[in-house]
Amino acid sequence: MTPNEPLVRWDWLASHAGEIGFRVGEHLELTAIAVAVGLVVAFALSFAVLRIPRLYPPVTTVTGILYTIPSLALFAFLVPYTGLSVLTAEIGLVSYTLLILIRNIVNGIRSVPSDVRDAAQGMGYTPRQILWRIELPLALAVIFAGIRIATITTIGLVTVTALIGEGGLGYFILLGMQELFSTPLLVGAVGSILFAIAADSALVLLQRALTPWARVR
């Protein structure tokens, strides 16, 4: 870092306000797509696991392996096939959400009290009605816990995708490191932390709105 330079150059912030806004939007988009696609894939796999319990070990093994691959290595591995693209970034980001989401969906549904399920079946709910009207609503708290972890993890990982030309706020971190210039580095780092906190708070509020019964007593 250049000597005598202040930690934050406010004039740089002012002159780059438009670009900062654009990168925040990009970060949001990359995160939202990853979590949304992750949820769709995770629900599909979870329903399969709930119907055929034998599938659970292989599904957690495969998603567990995906989860442990270092992100940089995964992106480097994907670039020859899918290039420096949003697709490459999203394949990586989605694959990191799966383990957490599937575990929480499956365990959330399995933890629905058996007497509630028994009563529902005994009163004439069809299996589909039991899933949609009983099991999913009651599993919501556990599923939301998974969505929150997946979202925060994804927000962190999006910064890494700066290395393959995406990255949202990660772009500023990369820029700061390349030019030994602390202001953009701080914008990227502090910005993604604030973004994670905001996203998590929004999810907590959404969960509270969706589960009014959990607030009573």
Partner 1 sequence: MSGATVELRGVTKRYGSTLAVDELSFTVPAGRICVLVGPSGCGKTTSLRMMNRLIEPTSGEILIDGQNVLHEDPVALRRRIGYVIQQVGLFPHETVAANIATVPQLLGWSRDRIRARVDELLALIGLDRNMKERYPAQLSGGERQRVGVARAMAAEPPLMLMDEPFGAVDPIVRNRLQDEFLNLQRTLGITVIFVTHDIDEAIKLGDRVAVMRTGKLVQYSPPAELLAHPADDFVAQFVGHDRALKRLGLLTVGGIELDRTIDRSRLGAAPTLSPSTSVRDALAALLVADARAAAVVDGSNYLGAITLPAIGRMLRGDDAK
Instruction: Return the half-sphere exposure (C-beta side, CA atoms, 13 A cut-off) of residue 103.
Output: 15
End-to-end CA distance of the chain: 56
**Choice between 54 and 217, CB closer to partner 1:** 217
Q: Are 11 and 184 in contact (CB under 8 A)?
A: no
Closest CA to 144 of 155, 136, 134: 136
Within 97-116, the residues that bind partner 1 by CB under 8 A are: 113, 115-116
Q: Tokens standing for 29?
A: 């988009």
Number of residues counted as binding partner 1 (CB under 8 A): 21
Q: How far is the CB of 150 from partner 1 (least distance, A)?
A: 23
**Choice between 133 and 194, CB closer to partner 1:** 133
Within 114-173, the residues that bind partner 1 by CB under 8 A are: 115-126, 129, 134, 137-138
Residues contacting 141, CB < 8 A, separation 6+:
108, 207, 211, 214
110-132 burial string, b = 16+ CB within 10 Å, else e?
eebeeeebeebeeeebeeeebbe
Q: How far is the CB of 211 from partner 1 (least distance, A)?
A: 7
**Choice between 81 and 213, CB closer to partner 1:** 213
**Choice between 5 and 118, CB closer to partner 1:** 118
Q: How far is the CB of 115 from partner 1 (least distance, A)?
A: 4
Which ranges in 52-181 belong to alpha helices (H)? 56-68, 71-82, 86-110, 114-122, 127-129, 136-160, 170-179
Binding of residue 205 to partner 1 (CB under 8 A): no
Q: How far is the CB of 106 from partner 1 (least distance, A)?
A: 19
Q: How far is the CB of 207 from partner 1 (least distance, A)?
A: 13
**Choice between 119 and 180, CB closer to partner 1:** 119
Interface residues with partner 1 (CB under 8 A)? 113, 115-126, 129, 134, 137-138, 211, 213, 216-217
